[in-house]
Structure 1
Amino acid sequence: MDVAAAVATLLSPGAGRDPYPAYAALRSAGPIVGHGGAFFVSGYEPADAILRDPIMRTYDSTLLDQHFDDWRDNRGVALFVDSMLRQNPPNHTRMRRLASGVFTARRVGRLRPVIEAQVGDALDELAAHAQDGVVDVMTHLAYPLPIAVICALLGVPPEDRAQFRRLAEALTAVLEVRFSESEAIAAHAAAKELEAYFEALISIRRQDPRDDLVTALAAAHEAGGDKLTADELLGNLALLLVAGFETTTNLLGNGLRLLLQRPELANRLRADPEFAPAVVEETLRYDPPVQLTERFAGEDRVVAGLPVPAGAELILFLGAANRDPHRFTDPDRFDPDRPGNAPLSFGAGAHYCLGAPLARLEAQVALPALLRRFPQLAAAGEPERRNRLTLRGWAAQPVALGAATGASVEWAG
């Protein structure tokens, strides 16, 4: 497979099924290659440098105006543009500072007992939905658990959670490098529905403040000095909701699939919860829930010896960088004992994912708890991949539960 074929494969609708052969072909041509007017990055070192370079810009409104003059007509696109995901300094700096002030390590740390309790409840529900001992672990664990956790953090009432998988599935299509007209229409409708929901919840929280992110960010909107506009408030709430569970859902699904294919590692994790951080970090490297991101060169740059002109688009394949043999020994082997493991799965630099500690914590609690509760857990048929590359994961993953032990997750603390 040459560069042209690799790029065509990775930009095709079915790229998410197995992008790794195309990544390897692209990387064999160099850590960064130019093709078709864009630059494609597969090497770890240049990807890390680009993510940390303040000259490299994310896809903000100014850049969208240059490429898609009608983007404002789609609320799915516009909603993310109003969030810190699609902002550059100084707006990104302001939004990030406000969000960081309420999305603190202390707040996330306080969620551990909540996560442990919700994992226990989710495992009960998983068993309750099994038919002849078989259940889809994505529908009945990997989606509802992260939704419950991020909703607890945001302050979304439990009775409202059921709608968010549907809305996120539609909305996140616009984060792909390519998406269809039908997906754009669905994303627009989902964004409008999500905006209406948050507008109503913000109104409630202004009358009845709580210790949650909706209350805190609404207060930031109304504060003097650095503050969020009304559109930025909605955009960042939508981002925190969607990013808060979509990536974790994929992390849980990808991690479980890898463990079910490696019974010796599953048994080790079942017996030793202290092994969980290493398993989660290697899952993030080996099959990351976010496979790519984009940047634009704000000035002329030389990246890994290749001249990149100002205004050029760079597509960073994080999944490829995480398997760069110049950074990781034997990169195509799943090895939780790998030393110096530092994948780029949550990005790097100013846009490093705020929710990374929360996603890691959820997976570190949930995966060993699932294996301990169901010691005979096994795959039950072929899983179904989502038709996405940016947010790569499983749509369905049937498992046979076997006999349950009835163990709680208190040991995971």
Structure 2
Amino acid sequence: MSLSAIDLQQIYDPQVYQTGVPFDILQQLRQQQAVHWIDEVATDSWPGGEGFWFVTRHAEVSQVLKTPKIFSSWLGGTQLRNPPSEQDLAYVRQMMLNKDPPEHTRLRRLLVDSFTPRAIRRLEEAIKLHARHIIERVIRDFPDGKCDFATDIAADMPLLSLADILGMPSQDRYLMFDWANRVIGYQDPEYAVSSKFDDRRGSDIARQAV
């Protein structure tokens, strides 16, 4: 059964993912063929775009990832929306995700030892402790039982764990949170002005950074 244009809009419409991933659409695309052209028609929650090639099967995805000279992350970036200007493109090209080998490989080598199974096991006790502290803080700070799960719980765990891996003081974790939001969500006004870091509590080097 062929998919309609409305069905294909579900692939890129952010509003669809609020209720879950459209697995049924993805399955149908995989069964039909490995590569599809998707027209980015404007929707209520998406401004539209130039369209993109959508690769749906593991073998073809692996081939794409292994041939950066043909399928470049650096050329146009990897974000969902194309950068609207050369200045924006230059900005996103500074991210490791938007670099091709050999520069991408060089940066990965700097981090790879921190993410081996052995290194993660060493962090296990610290991660458990962070989880307890997060829950205790939420119980203390939100006696009515209501909080913003995304920022008050879900954001803290990876931030604290990454702070441990990078040797960053825990009081500086929200500086990393703000920077990540501004880089990844630079096209979204809500995230581009992220400001949870409190420089009064940060380390000396963090205060200098802001």
TM-score between both structures, scaled by the size of structure 1: 0.37
2:40 aligned with 1:11 = no
Q: CA 1:185–1:100 in 2, change beyond 3 Å: closer, same or farther? A: same
Q: CA 1:135–1:184 in 2, change beyond 3 Å: closer, same or farther? A: closer
Separation in structure 2 between the aligned mates of residue 185 and residue 122 of structure 1, nearest angstrom: 25
Separation in structure 2 between the aligned mates of residue 167 and residue 148 of structure 1, nearest angstrom: 15
Residue 23 of structure 1 is matched in structure 2 by: 26
Q: CA 1:144–1:38 in 2, change beyond 3 Å: closer, same or farther? A: closer
* 1:176-196 CA distance string (max 9 Å, x none): xxx5xxx27963x66xx9xxx
The correspondence of residues 226-305 of structure 1 with structure 2, limited to 5 A, is none
* 1:190-242 CA distance string (max 9 Å, x none): 6xx9xxx9xx45x89xxxxxxxxxxxxxxxxxxxxxxxxxxxxxxxxxxxxxx
Separation in structure 2 between the aligned mates of residue 9 and residue 185 of structure 1, nearest angstrom: 23
- 2:185 is paired with a residue whose SS is helix
TM-score between both structures, scaled by the size of structure 2: 0.65
Determine if contact 2:34/2:56 at 8 Å carries over to the other structure. Answer: yes
Aligned residues: 186
- 1:125 CA displacement: 1.7
The residue identity in structure 2 corresponding to 1:114 is A
Residue 48 of structure 1 is matched in structure 2 by: 62
The correspondence of residues 138-149 of structure 1 with structure 2, limited to 5 A, is 138-149=150-161
Determine if contact 2:68/2:100 at 8 Å carries over to the other structure. Answer: no
Q: CA 1:3–1:171 in 2, change beyond 3 Å: closer, same or farther? A: farther
* 1:338-379 CA distance string (max 9 Å, x none): xxxxxxxxxxxxxxxxxxxxxxxxxxxxxxxxxxxxxxxxxx
Separation in structure 1 between the aligned mates of residue 128 and residue 83 of structure 2, nearest angstrom: 45
Q: CA 1:54–1:170 in 2, change beyond 3 Å: closer, same or farther? A: closer
Separation in structure 1 between the aligned mates of residue 26 and residue 56 of structure 2, nearest angstrom: 7
The residue identity in structure 2 corresponding to 1:172 is I
Instruction: Please point out which of 85, 100, 106 is paired with 2:112.
Output: 100
Residue 86 of structure 2 is matched in structure 1 by: 71
* 1:103-127 CA distance string (max 9 Å, x none): 5554433222211221221222232
* 1:61-91 CA distance string (max 9 Å, x none): x446xx757232x4xx645422321111222
The residue identity in structure 1 corresponding to 2:85 is D
- 1:26 CA displacement: 3.2
Determine if contact 2:113/2:119 at 8 Å carries over to the other structure. Answer: no
Determine if contact 1:6/1:26 at 8 Å carries over to the other structure. Answer: no
Residue 81 of structure 1 is matched in structure 2 by: 93
The residue identity in structure 2 corresponding to 1:125 is R
The correspondence of residues 364-375 of structure 1 with structure 2, limited to 5 A, is none
Separation in structure 2 between the aligned mates of residue 7 and residue 29 of structure 1, nearest angstrom: 13
Separation in structure 1 between the aligned mates of residue 76 and residue 66 of structure 2, nearest angstrom: 19
Runs of 4+ in 1 over 6 A off after TM superposition: none
Q: CA 1:4–1:25 in 2, change beyond 3 Å: closer, same or farther? A: farther
Q: CA 1:2–1:57 in 2, change beyond 3 Å: closer, same or farther? A: same
Separation in structure 2 between the aligned mates of residue 40 and residue 169 of structure 1, nearest angstrom: 26
Residue 71 of structure 2 is matched in structure 1 by: 57
Q: Which runs of 5 or more residues in structure 1 are unaligned?
A: 205-413
2:57 aligned with 1:39 = no
The residue identity in structure 1 corresponding to 2:107 is M
* 1:3-47 CA distance string (max 9 Å, x none): 533332322342422341443453353232234463212233332
Residue 159 of structure 1 is matched in structure 2 by: 171
The residue identity in structure 2 corresponding to 1:26 is L
The residue identity in structure 2 corresponding to 1:71 is E
Q: Which runs of 5 or more residues in structure 2 are unaligned?
A: 40-50
The residue identity in structure 2 corresponding to 1:42 is T
2:183 aligned with 1:171 = yes
Separation in structure 2 between the aligned mates of residue 44 and residue 32 of structure 1, nearest angstrom: 11
Q: CA 1:132–1:43 in 2, change beyond 3 Å: closer, same or farther? A: same
Determine if contact 2:114/2:120 at 8 Å carries over to the other structure. Answer: no
Q: CA 1:111–1:70 in 2, change beyond 3 Å: closer, same or farther? A: same
**Structure (1/2) with the larger strand percentage:** 1
Q: CA 1:29–1:5 in 2, change beyond 3 Å: closer, same or farther? A: farther
Percent identity between the two aligned chains: 21
Separation in structure 2 between the aligned mates of residue 78 and residue 109 of structure 1, nearest angstrom: 37
2:151 aligned with 1:150 = no
